């Protein structure tokens, strides 16, 4: 369908001719004899284009346009006039009309003008989608990681992206759940359509329904105009519901209905609107346990949990930490050149730290170092909680401080080097096994060996 047009003309013959021509071109047409009827139709429905005569009994076309645009500035208007002086045309354009047509209308001019008008309307719609996407989402880094758990995530993305199945992503905060949702969308047949993300924990319960399904003018205090929700805006695309576990029970019921029926109803609306969107949701909660506690609807859980993707915490894939550091360093550093990016002491500290904030915390940390002017990330530019983190609590009675004092760092270095040697001896020289004996990653173990000049590779 080419689009919808509301024709306003007090001459029945003119309405009939316009309706016949434009309906044949594929437009959805409704024709009314005056401004009063037009306002009633615009109150109860929406039209892509208002095509109105200038001179009419009662309210003129100019007055109608002014009234309509004051309530809905996004409405596209084309004026028809048999009395079109240059001043009248200038006034109409200045007031907000997109174009005008002079009577008697020529069929070819009419079709050409409306074709140009609808190209403009489609461009505006695309721009609104783009602006909304940019406003509600921020760019995320490319997926980085060679750990087997991340390779499994990649495998799952490649497998499920071409489908339209509903996906539930599990993972701690900061692990990159939205990144996975975007990757699924970008690999799907919907990739050229909109991707909208919404954090369910960040939207007040009272606004969630309007945010997802839209609202009609006057449906609640502050609803001055009709607004479409994410489900309508993402038609043919994907809606990502982050932190779905925070959605209240009442809203869960409405979401379930939208998923089951594939239609929504705006707040204050009276008609059901068909929608075609793919739902991807994410949570850091155990939704199965939440259903047992009555905090999450079991039927909605089963609707969302068709395919599951689990994002590992950063501490579970330590070997990806330094590649991620390099990636973020290149993202934020304003200088260029080759050479060392992370000093050895900083690398050890980073590999030891558990990163409770996961990849997001690591990115913020690297950005902090770069902003502070560090061309090489050293232990000094790391926050104290990172550089001073002790991974395993050591027995406090290993040594007593002598009366004359002691060199703590020398003592710790000696203890560390001896433990490294012991681990190598117990593992028969197999470094991966030695690293496991000390509860560290192979990469961290290698850095520690290099620190004491014991890495012969």
User: What would the mean pLDDT of 113-127 be, rounded to a whole number?
Assistant: 82
Mind listing the pLDDT tens digit for each residue in 282-341?
A: 999 999 999 999 999 999 999 999 999 999 999 888 889 999 999 899 888 877 666 788
pLDDT at res. 389: 77
What is the band of 128 on the pLDDT scale with cuts at 50, 70, 90?
low
What is the band of 193 on the pLDDT scale with cuts at 50, 70, 90?
very high
Question: In the Cβ-directed half-sphere of 331, how many Cα atoms lie within 13 Å?
Answer: 18
User: What would the mean pLDDT of 371-393 be, rounded to a whole number?
Assistant: 81
**Comparing 244 with 88, which gets the higher pLDDT?**
244
pLDDT at res. 413: 73
User: What would the mean pLDDT of 239-250 be, rounded to a whole number?
Assistant: 95
pLDDT at res. 344: 86
User: What would the mean pLDDT of 230-257 be, rounded to a whole number?
Assistant: 94
pLDDT at res. 138: 38
pLDDT at res. 394: 45
Task: Give how far Cα 9 sits from Cα of 16, 72, 82, Å.
Answer: 10, 21, 12
- Paired sense of beta strands 273-274 and 263-264, if any: antiparallel
Residue 154 and residue 311 in contact, taking contact as beta carbons nearer than 8 Å: no
pLDDT at res. 139: 36
- The answer to whether residue 387 scores a pLDDT higher than 70 is yes
Domains present along the chain, CATH in parentheses: 3-133 (3.40.50.2300), 148-310 (3.40.50.300), 315-389 (1.10.8.60), 397-457 (1.10.10.60)
Mind listing the pLDDT tens digit for each residue in 195-238?
A: 999 999 999 988 999 999 998 887 787 777 878 889 998 999 99
**Comparing 126 with 322, which gets the higher pLDDT?**
322
pLDDT at res. 46: 85
Q: What are phi and psi of 416, to 5 degrees?
A: -65, -45
Q: Which long-range contacts (CB under 8 A, 24 or more apart) does 368-373 make?
A: 370/329, 370/332, 370/333, 370/334, 371/332
Lowest-pLDDT choice from 64-68, 294-298, 403-407: 403-407
User: What would the mean pLDDT of 106-124 be, rounded to a whole number?
Assistant: 87
pLDDT at res. 395: 47
- The answer to whether residue 66 scores a pLDDT higher than 60 is yes
Show the DSSP H helices in 225-338 as ranges: 230-233, 249-261, 287-293, 298-304, 321-332
- The answer to whether residue 29 scores a pLDDT higher than 80 is yes
Instruction: Find tokens 């590779």 and name the residue.
Output: 457
């Amino acid at each position: 369908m080419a689009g919808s047009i509301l024709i306003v003309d007090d001459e029945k013959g003119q309405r009939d001719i316009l309706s016949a021509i434009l309906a044949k071109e594929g437009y959805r047409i409704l024709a009314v004899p005056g401004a009063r009827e037009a306002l009633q139709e615009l109150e109860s429905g929406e039209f892509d284009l208002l095509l109105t005569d200038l001179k009419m009994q009662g309210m003129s076309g100019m007055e109608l346009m002014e009234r309509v645009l004051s309530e809905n500035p996004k409405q596209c208007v084309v004026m028809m006039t048999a009395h079109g002086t240059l001043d009248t045309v200038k006034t109409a354009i200045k007031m907000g009309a997109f174009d005008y047509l002079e009577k008697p209308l020529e069929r070819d001019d009419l079709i050409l003008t409306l074709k140009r008008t609808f190209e403009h309307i489609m461009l505006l719609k695309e721009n609104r989608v783009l602006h909304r996407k940019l406003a509600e989402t921020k760019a995320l880094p490319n997926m980085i990681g060679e750990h087997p758990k991340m390779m499994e995530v990649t495998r799952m993305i490649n497998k499920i992206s071409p489908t339209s199945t509903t996906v539930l992503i599990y993972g701690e905060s900061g692990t990159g759940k939205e990144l996975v949702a975007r990757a699924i969308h970008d690999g799907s047949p919907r990739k050229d359509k909109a991707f909208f993300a919404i954090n369910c924990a960040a939207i007040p319960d009272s606004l969630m329904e309007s945010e997802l399904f839209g609202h009609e003018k006057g449906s609640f205090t502050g609803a001055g105009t009709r607004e479409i929700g994410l489900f309508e805006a993402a038609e043919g695309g994907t809606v990502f519901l982050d932190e779905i576990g925070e959605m209240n029970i009442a809203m869960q019921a409405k979401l379930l209905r939208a998923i089951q029926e594939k239609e929504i109803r705006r707040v204050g609306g009276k008609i059901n609107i068909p929608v075609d969107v793919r739902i991807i949701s994410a949570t850091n909660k155990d939704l199965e346990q939440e259903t047992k506690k009555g905090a999450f609807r079991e039927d909605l859980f089963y609707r969302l949990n068709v395919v599951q993707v689990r994002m590992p915490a950063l501490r579970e894939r330590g070997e990806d930490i330094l590649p991620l550091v390099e990636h973020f360093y290149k993202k934020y550093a304003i200088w260029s050149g080759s050479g060392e990016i992370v000093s050895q002491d900083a690398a050890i500290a980073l590999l030891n730290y558990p990163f409770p904030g996961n990849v997001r915390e690591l990115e913020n940390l690297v950005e902090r170092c770069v902003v502070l002017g560090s061309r090489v990330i050293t232990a000094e530019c790391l926050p104290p909680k990172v550089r001073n983190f002790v991974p395993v609590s050591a027995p406090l009675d290993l040594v007593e401080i002598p009366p004359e004092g002691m060199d703590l760092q020398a003592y710790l270095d000696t203890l560390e080097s001896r433990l490294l040697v012991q681990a190598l001896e117990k593992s028969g020289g197999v470094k991966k096994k030695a690293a496991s004996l000390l509860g560290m990653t192979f990469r961290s173990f290698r850095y520690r060996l290099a620190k004491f000049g014991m890495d012969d590779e």
